[in-house]
């Protein structure tokens, strides 16, 4: 199943689904279970975890 089909089943846009799958957006509570079931059934890339490592921040390469 393609991302556009999954997005349609969830009632969201393909671009929003793409942002969720890439970790740019958090998964809304009401979509957690339906999305995980669709992902599991259709072997779509994994849904990102909501866990955040305390004290972590992106490292900029320009700091060298």
Give me the domain span that covers residue 33.
Answer: 3-48
Q: Is residue 13 assigned to a domain?
A: yes
User: pTM for the whole thing?
Assistant: 0.61
Comparing 54 with 30, which gets the higher pLDDT?
30
What DSSP line would sit under 3-14, residue for residue? Answer: HHHHHHHHTS-H
Tens digits of residue pLDDT in 9-37: 999 999 999 998 899 999 999 999 998 88
Q: Does residue 12 contact residue 6 with C-beta atoms inside 8 Å?
A: no
Binned at pLDDT 50, 70 and 90, residue 39 comes out as confident
Q: Is residue 63 assigned to a domain?
A: no
CA-to-CA distance for 49 and 38, rounded, in angstroms?
A: 16
Q: Does residue 4 contact residue 21 with C-beta atoms inside 8 Å?
A: no
Q: Is residue 32 assigned to a domain?
A: yes
Tell me what the pLDDT averaged over the chain comes to.
Answer: 76
CA-to-CA distance for 6 and 49, rounded, in angstroms?
A: 19
Comparing 10 with 38, which gets the higher pLDDT?
10
């Amino acid at each position: 199943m393609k991302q556009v089909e999954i997005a349609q089943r969830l009632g969201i846009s393909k671009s929003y689904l793409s942002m969720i799958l890439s970790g740019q957006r958090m998964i809304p509570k009401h979509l957690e279970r339906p999305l995980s079931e669709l992902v599991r059934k259709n072997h779509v890339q994994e849904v990102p975890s909501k866990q955040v490592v305390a004290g972590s921040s992106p490292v900029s390469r320009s700091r060298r």
